[in-house]
Amino acid sequence: MLSKPVQDILNDQIKHEFYSAYFYLSMAAHCETENLAGCARWLRLQAQEEQSHALKLFDYINERGGQVTLQAIAQPPAEFTSVLDLFQQVLEHEKKVTGLINRCYETALKDNDYPTSIMLQWFIEEQVEEEKNATAIVEQIKMVGASGAALYMLDHQLGARAG
């Protein structure tokens, strides 16, 4: 059985994971309007991944005899000044999510909830990968610039992301 503090923080994290999906879908929509189909595909796949993270937590709460309580999701931004700005926001968002996951882990440890601590290690490892990927894209955009043939090639590369 989950303690109230652990259950509450996991329910809060579900909200953040669904918000992440919403955030990336908003970015995908923006990229579609900018004819950056590869970026849009990458972001849509990222949104699906965030939804799967939320559902992993959802299932875990149920498996441990807890109560899932879905919370309201804020509206994400819809306007971005450039593809660089957009992916810099991806990176900053992933850093924020890392902090939230760390907070969940700290709560589980404080509560001596070792099963939850172990489960959250998967999320911790995932966040290392998420930040690494977002950093690489930001750095690549800085190298190639925000327009021209090089951005076209980068967009094509991002669109090749496996689903």
Q: What is the mean pLDDT of residues 114-128?
A: 98
Which pLDDT score, from 0 to 100, does residue 85 have? 96
Two tokens at 106?
């700290």
Give me the chain's average pLDDT, please: 96
Taking only the tens place, the pLDDT of each residue in 27-69 is 999 999 999 999 999 999 999 999 999 999 999 999 999 999 9
Q: Where are the domains positioned within the chain? A: 4-159
Residue 147 has pLDDT above 80, yes or no: no
Confidence bin at 145 (pLDDT 50/70/90): confident
CATH number of 4-159: 1.20.1260.10
Convert 111-134 to b/e letters by CB count within 10 Å (16 or more is b).
Answer: bebeebbebbeebeebbeebbebb
**Segment 85-101 mean pLDDT:** 98
Stretch among 7-16, 87-96, 147-156 having the lowest mean pLDDT: 147-156
Q: Percentage of the chain surpassing pLDDT 90? A: 92
**Can you give the pLDDT at residue 116?**
98
pLDDT at residue number 162? 82
pLDDT in the model for residue 113: 98
Return the pLDDT at 6.
Answer: 98
pTM: 0.95
